[in-house]
């Protein structure tokens, strides 16, 4: 089970564990997007902080249907007690 909370502004926040570039677990607070497509969107400062290798590019579309190409890579997260691979994209202003 994944735990979290809902803010006064009705945003669902989760504590997510992600493996950094050195293989250590780091924890960050993330906002759950109900339109989740399987990607973990992290702003560039978090990508740098965690030392993630984003060595490919991915075309994404925003909620307004604008399209852009962003850095992308695979990282590991802890999800429901299991380690899972997830595509990380460098986008947005908050995790």
**Mind listing the pLDDT tens digit for each residue in 57-85?**
999 887 778 888 999 999 999 988 899 99
| SS3 state at 21 | coil
Contacts of 89 (CB under 8 A, 6+ apart): 39, 40, 41, 42, 54, 58, 60, 70, 71, 72
Terminal-residue alpha carbon distance, the chain:
20
What mean pLDDT is reported for the chain? 87
CATH topology of domain 4-90: Cathepsin D, subunit A; domain 1 (2.40.70)
Judging by beta carbons within 10 Å of its beta carbon (0-12, 13-18, 19+), is residue 65 exposed, middle or buried?
Answer: exposed
Q: What's the pTM?
A: 0.79
Provide the residue ranges of all domains of the chain, joining segments of one domain with +: 4-90
């Amino acid at each position: 089970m994944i735990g979290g909370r809902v803010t006064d502004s009705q945003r669902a926040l989760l504590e997510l564990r992600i493996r950094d570039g050195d293989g250590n677990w780091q924890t960050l607070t993330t906002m759950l997007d109900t339109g989740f497509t399987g990607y973990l969107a992290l702003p560039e400062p978090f990508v740098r902080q965690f030392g993630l290798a984003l060595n490919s590019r991915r075309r994404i579309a925003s909620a307004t249907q604008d399209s852009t190409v962003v850095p992308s890579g695979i990282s590991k997260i802890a999800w429901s007690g299991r380690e899972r691979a997830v595509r990380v994209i460098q986008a947005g202003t908050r995790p």
